[in-house]
Structures are given as structure tokens and as C-alpha cells.
Chain A
């Protein structure tokens, strides 16, 4: 189960609304490498993990990703608060506004709605951990791209925090992959599914 804590993992305090930035940042909610996909990816994969450390890691990182999507949604919400029609007309945010007003909906910066195809849950620990390592790097690249587009320090600060978390998660997934391969017959690393074919353990 989960329990809600009435706080953000890291503060989001954006003094100046900016709908153009909201339209870019929302991609880390509903985009291909966003936090919504990250949480569902890890929380789905954990059921087929054969090792306790990796069950724990996917549960805990998946949970942290929920806190991250909340931060992204808070950024989008604060960047679009108290807008007048004049501040929206003629901006790229107008297209989003027509569909969702200033409600928060999971879409990519390119306006494609969130899709389950962004994630994988293959029922194979080695396959899934490689997916997770790639996912953390793709998210890091996306944060780098966002940081290039932003000069408001109120927006940069939480983006830099979230970027750093991708690096820490990458490190932990790398350790999970090493823990996994240490338990396998080294002749068989990539020719069996350790989540299903039990004979490939040492």
C-alpha cells in the first residue's frame, strides 16, 4: 500500500507563471521518458524479480518516481496559474489550453498523450534491468534538454534536482545488474531468462 505525505520531495516555488515552459516541462509527466512511465515501469517489473535486493530497489525507486511526477505536475500547475486569455492567445500553450484548460494531463511536449508503449515489463530480470538503465539515461538527456531551454532559476532548481536523481538511480540499477549476474552461471548470462529458467542460477 501507499500513504500520502503532504509535501513535495524537493520544493517547487515558481514565482512567475510561464505557459510556454509548462508546455515543455509537461513532457517529464506524460512524455516517452517521463516520470509517469518511470513509476509504472518499475512498479510493474518488480513482480517477476527473483532477488530480494532488486524487488526492494524497484519498489523504492518506483515509489520515488511518484514523488517526481508530483513535482513535475506542481511545476506545470505553478507555471500556468492565474493566466489571462491574453497571456495564452498566440502562444504554443494555446493548443493544450483548448483541450485541457489549465488542468494537468499526461502528454509529451509534442502533445502526444502518454502511452503504455513507453515502458516495458518483459518478465526477465536482465532484460528489464537493461531497460531501466536505458530509461534513466533517456530521462537524464531529457532533463539536460529542458535545462538548455530554461533560464528562470525557480524552474532550473527543481529540474537540476530531478536530473541528479536519474544519475543516482542509474548507479543503483547498475549494482542490481551486477548482483544479478553474480548469482548466475557465467556461461549463461544472456542466453536464459533468470526470472523463469531457474536452472541458470549458480
Chain B
């Protein structure tokens, strides 16, 4: 799986754990898993940025003299890549 897809998978797992924790705020196992996912996601983003430059969903992407936030593609546009 591409590194960006792996980050997205952790993003989703974190959203799902967040909903579970809303109704089970004292579930120790779930809290532990939630922290593990967050740590894993941060490690993957660090590895991604070391290899490819700024991670796409960070708001303040600037490369050189250009504000790259506005660069295509936007998420709704068709592209074969992740």
C-alpha cells in the first residue's frame, strides 16, 4: 500500500475510534488503541515528509516561493493516483 494510503487508513481508524470513545470514554483498551493509532499516523507522516516533502493535507504547504495549497488536484477531481 502506498504511504499516503496508509496514512489515510490511520486517519479513518482514528475517526472510528473517536466515535466509539464518545460513548465509551473510560474504555482503557480503546484509549490505548486510539493513542497507538495517533502515534503510528504521526510516524508515517514524518516518514512521508522525509521522502516526498510536505504532506498534502497540512494547511500551510509552502514550497519555495509558492503557496502550494491551491495546487491541483483538489480531492473531488478524478486522478488515478492516491
Residues of A within 8 A of B (CB): 3-15, 52-53, 56-57, 60-61, 64, 70, 73-74, 77-78, 81, 168-169, 172, 175-176, 179
What size tier do the contact residues of chain B reach? 20 to 34
CA distance A31 to B20 in the complex (A): 28
Q: Assess whether B16 is interfacial by the CB under 8 Å rule.
A: yes
Report the number of A-B residue pairs with Cβ-Cβ less than 8 Å. Answer: 64
Indicate if the CB atoms of A10 and B12 lie closer than 8 Å. yes
Indicate if the CB atoms of A70 and B75 lie closer than 8 Å. yes
Indicate if the CB atoms of B57 and A60 lie closer than 8 Å. no
In this complex, the member of B15, B25, B78 whose beta carbon has the largest number of chain A beta carbons within 10 angstroms is: B78
Indicate if the CB atoms of A53 and B23 lie closer than 8 Å. yes
CA distance A176 to B19 in the complex (A): 11
Residues of B within 8 A of A (CB): 8, 11-12, 15-16, 18-20, 22-25, 56-57, 59, 69, 74-80, 82
Least CB separation from A9: chain B residue: B12
Indicate if the CB atoms of A73 and B69 lie closer than 8 Å. no
CA distance A3 to B80 in the complex (A): 26
Least CB separation from A58: chain B residue: B22
CA distance A81 to B77 in the complex (A): 9
Residues of B within 8 A of A12 (CB): 76
Least CB separation from A67: chain B residue: B15
Residues of A within 8 A of B75 (CB): 6-8, 70, 74
CA distance A64 to B17 in the complex (A): 13
Once A6-B69, A10-B12, A60-B18 are accepted as A-B contacts, the answer to whether A175 and B79 lie under 8 Å apart by CB is: no
